[in-house]
């Protein structure tokens, strides 16, 4: 469940990118949930035409999903509802990280400065900037800057198609979901789900929003279907370019620009967008690999990345990674011996099996993700409470059981009074939990304080703090951007330096945000 600061951060991101009107409509959906056009107009007190334009922009940039459902009290009439996609809004602050993947990994050749690498960079940047584009519009964006002959243009289109199809084949780019899927709501008198024997929790039915996302998603074969040669031949034949040039910055775009872009797209044309799931998967691999390197060495980090690349099911929420031994070796490209690879696989606690005479290894990412989260939390505790708080927190984190105050003071070599004060500070800020039990052999009012670390509520508390910090940084950066138009040239250098430092801090903070929210 997204908290107050998370929603305020999403609103600030939309305001920075598209202006306050679009942010007002987006915030209405974030605060009130799924709404119809009529309800949005009523809640925002905006003209209907303005609300429509704002919704078109949000849909164009994958921040809102529309879907149809039967109108209440009617069997033959439908109503279109709109829902904000919070995760896609937050992903807009990660575009620079997504583009950095061009310079490493399986997205680019060894030399990222080659023409092929620059082509992929331009294609992915164009899609991220414009949200949704046809391949013909991507070609037009590239050709419009270069006045070339027809023969050179045809060659250029063929090169673009090859690069684009590789992005599709590697699942970095996907076909857009269905624009308005029809959802049949669950009947109100349907019995509640029961807990199956052996299951820890009862299966919960999908919400209306989850059903809409599921219905809008295309089948895997259609979602990542490459462009045939005929599409390239049609590109550039009288297509009007409605999208900005690659180098243009989309800050406060007008409503008319995006509307023209949408109008230019015919119904039978295929729209493409960035696949955030694959891009986040690559960022998760990068963050986890850094943690593995710090614990087990550089070679272990290299093997870990090879496992993640060889994994067939590259889903961001999947915690079990399965890869064949041959696939791992192919990604290592002969950089390590077979015995060395097997040794590291054992160090990573990979489980081995055999399927059709082929060695298969499975890796549970939960331990690595927990190690990453522990490092983040311990860094926060040490910065906020000093060495004493860090020692107590680390003790509770390691033992993972109820411990008495006197015992904590004894193990951490602290005075009982100091330990008691620090424990209450950590408890007050919701980093640890307390349990009072009656003291044996004492009066009825006497009790013993037992302390323990409960990770799930702690993660939520820290996530709220991260959202709050990211919101403050985003607001501060926006204020500096506004000041750029007012200050003198002599002060510009200092302002840009402050802005750069804040942007780096936000990127670093976003690593923690992804760890506790996306992974």
pTM for the model stands at 0.82
Give dist(CA 381, CA 397) in Å, integer. 12
CB 405 within 8 A of CB 416: yes
The average pLDDT across 85-93 equals 95
pLDDT over threshold 90, residue 507: yes
Nearest to 268 by CA among 182, 138, 179, 142: 179
What kind and span of H or E run contains 363?
Answer: strand 358-364
The average pLDDT across 469-483 equals 92
Cα dihedral 109, 114, 115, 121, rounded to 10, equals: 60
| SS3 readout for 46-96 | CCHHHHHHHHHHHHHCCCEEEEEEECCCCCCCEEEEEEECHHHHHHHHHHH
Non-local CB neighbours of 73 within 8 Å, separated by 6+ positions: none
Number of helices followed by number of strands (H, E) in the chain: 22, 11
pLDDT digits (tens, 9 = 90+) for 153-194: 677 788 888 899 999 998 999 999 998 898 886 665 555 555
The average pLDDT across 477-499 equals 84
pLDDT band at 264 (very low <50, low <70, confident <90, very high): very low
pLDDT over threshold 90, residue 447: no
What pLDDT shows up at residue 197? 54
Nearest to 342 by CA among 299, 373, 310: 299
pLDDT over threshold 60, residue 398: yes
What pLDDT shows up at residue 281? 92
């Amino acid at each position: 469940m997204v908290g107050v600061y998370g929603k305020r951060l999403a609103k600030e991101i939309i305001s920075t990118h598209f202006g306050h009107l679009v942010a007002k409509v987006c915030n209405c959906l974030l605060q009130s949930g799924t709404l119809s056009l009529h309800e949005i107009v009523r809640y925002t007190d905006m003209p209907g035409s303005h609300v429509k334009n704002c919704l078109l922009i949000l849909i164009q940039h994958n921040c809102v999903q529309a879907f149809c459902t039967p109108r209440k009290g009617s069997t033959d009439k439908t109503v279109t509802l709109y829902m904000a996609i919070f995760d896609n809004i937050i992903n807009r602050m990660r575009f620079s990280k997504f583009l950095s993947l061009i310079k490493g990994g399986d997205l680019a050749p060894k030399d990222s400065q080659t023409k092929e690498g620059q082509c992929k960079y331009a294609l992915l940047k164009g899609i991220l900037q414009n949200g949704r584009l046809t391949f013909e519009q991507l070609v037009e964006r590239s050709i419009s800057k270069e006045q070339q002959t027809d023969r050179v243009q045809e060659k250029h289109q063929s090169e673009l198609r090859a690069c684009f199809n590789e992005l599709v084949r590697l699942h970095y780019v996907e076909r857009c979901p269905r624009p308005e899927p029809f959802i049949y709501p669950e009947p109100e008198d349907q019995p509640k789900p029961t807990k199956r024997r052996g299951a820890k929790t009862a299966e919960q039915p999908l919400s209306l929003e989850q059903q809409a996302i599921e219905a809008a998603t295309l089948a895997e074969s259609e979602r990542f279907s490459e462009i045939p040669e005929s599409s390239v031949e049609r590109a550039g034949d009288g297509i009007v370019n409605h999208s900005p040039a690659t180098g243009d910055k989309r800050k406060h775009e007008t409503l008319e620009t995006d509307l023209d872009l949408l109008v230019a797209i015919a119904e039978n044309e295929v729209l493409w967008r960035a696949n955030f799931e694959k891009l986040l998967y690559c960022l998760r691999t990068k963050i986890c690999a850094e943690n593995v390197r710090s614990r087990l060495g550089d070679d272990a980090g290299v093997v870990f990345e090879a496992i993640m690349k060889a994994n067939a099911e590259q889903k961001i929420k999947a915690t079990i990674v399965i890869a064949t031994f041959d696939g791992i070796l192919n990604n290592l490209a002969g950089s390590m011996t077979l015995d060395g690879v097997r040794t590291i696989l054992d160090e990573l606690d990979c489980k081995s099996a055999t399927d059709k005479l082929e060695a298969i290894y499975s890796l549970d990412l939960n331990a690595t993700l927990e190690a990453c989260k522990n490092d983040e939390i311990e860094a926060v505790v040490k910065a906020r409470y000093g060495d004493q708080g860090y020692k107590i927190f680390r003790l509770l984190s390691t033992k993972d059981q109820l411990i008495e105050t006197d015992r904590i003071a004894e193990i951490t070599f602290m005075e009982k009074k100091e330990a008691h004060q620090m424990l209450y500070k950590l408890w007050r800020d919701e980093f640890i939990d307390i349990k009072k039990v009656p003291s044996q052999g004492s009066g009825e009012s006497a009790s013993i304080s037992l302390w323990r670390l409960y990770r799930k509520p702690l993660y939520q508390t820290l996530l709220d703090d991260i959202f709050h910090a990211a919101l403050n940084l985003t607001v501060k950066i926006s204020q500096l951007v506004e000041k750029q138009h007012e200050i003198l040239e002599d002060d510009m250098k200092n302002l840009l330096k402050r802005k750069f430092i804040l942007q780096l801090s936000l990127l670093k903070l976003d690593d923690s945000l992804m760890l506790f929210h996306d992974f």
